[in-house]
């Protein structure tokens, strides 16, 4: 199964201004795998956003419920449950981030394979060494620790800081 694509060639004369790219069976398989990896990455990304929404809803319901159950008085259960909730949601969300990065790295490997198989026909040879969906150094540095501390998890860090402040104020007797 060969699918043809035309690319303008910047280096050739006007008569030879088109190059034909024929997809090989290996290319077709790689493109299918890239599509599947892309869908899985989107799924993890969507789940990450849903986890953040669930966290905010959970906190919004949890605090008033604990206050009502304790006759509108503050107690240590709020502090402890907040710590546990923040850390639990943070770890679950870190899991989705970690696998998003890993999947993007796998997609890049497939793009590089396609590029290398077709490097004689491709015009954009300079992009073969750089990342297509993610920078190569990010793929190498993806670790479980890095997936916990990234910008998309700022909400958990802020909530943790607020809970620590509340904890200290409660401990000092301000509540």
pLDDT band at 15; cut points 50, 70, 90: very low
Neighbouring CB atoms inside 10 A of 85's CB total 18
Q: Is the pLDDT of residue 110 over 80?
A: yes
Contacting residues for 138 by C-beta, under 8 A, at least 6 apart: 101, 105, 131
H or E element in which residue 109 lies: helix 76-117
Query: Rounded to whole angstroms, how far apart are CA atoms 12 and 88?
Result: 59
- Distances, alpha carbon 72 to alpha carbons 63, 65, 68, 85, 118, in Å: 11, 10, 5, 21, 69
Q: Would you say 48 and 26 are in contact if contact means Cβ atoms under 8 Å apart?
A: no
pTM of the prediction? Answer: 0.72
Query: Rounded to whole angstroms, how far apart are CA atoms 122 and 142?
Result: 30
Predicted confidence (pLDDT) per residue in 16-68, tens digit? 444 566 788 998 999 999 999 999 999 999 999 999 999 999 999 999 999 89
Q: Is the pLDDT of residue 128 over 90?
A: no
Q: Is the pLDDT of residue 118 over 90?
A: no
Domains in the chain: how many in total? 1
pLDDT band at 13; cut points 50, 70, 90: very low
Q: Which domain holds residue 167?
A: 4-171
Q: Which two tokens stand for residue 52?
A: 């953040």
Q: What is the mean pLDDT of residues 131-159?
A: 80
pLDDT at 14: 37
Mean pLDDT of the chain: 83
Nearest of 27, 54, 36 to residue 115 by alpha carbon:
27
């Amino acid at each position: 199964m060969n699918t043809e694509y035309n690319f303008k060639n910047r280096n050739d004369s006007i008569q030879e201004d088109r190059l034909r790219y024929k997809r090989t069976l290996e290319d077709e398989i790689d493109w299918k795998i890239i599509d599947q990896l892309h869908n899985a990455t989107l799924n993890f990304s969507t789940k990450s956003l849903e986890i953040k929404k669930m966290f905010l809803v959970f906190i919004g319901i949890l605090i008033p419920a604990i206050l009502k159950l304790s006759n509108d008085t503050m107690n240590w259960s709020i502090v402890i449950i907040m710590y546990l909730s923040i850390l639990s949601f943070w770890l679950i969300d870190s899991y989705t981030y970690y696998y998003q990065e890993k999947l993007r790295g796998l997609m890049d490997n497939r793009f590089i394979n396609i590029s290398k198989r077709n490097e004689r026909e491709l015009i954009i040879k300079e992009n073969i060494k750089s990342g297509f969906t993610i920078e190569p150094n990010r793929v190498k540095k993806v670790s479980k620790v890095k997936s916990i501390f990234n910008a998309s998890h700022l909400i958990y860090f802020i909530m943790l800081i607020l809970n620590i402040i509340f904890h200290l104020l409660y401990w000092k007797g301000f509540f």
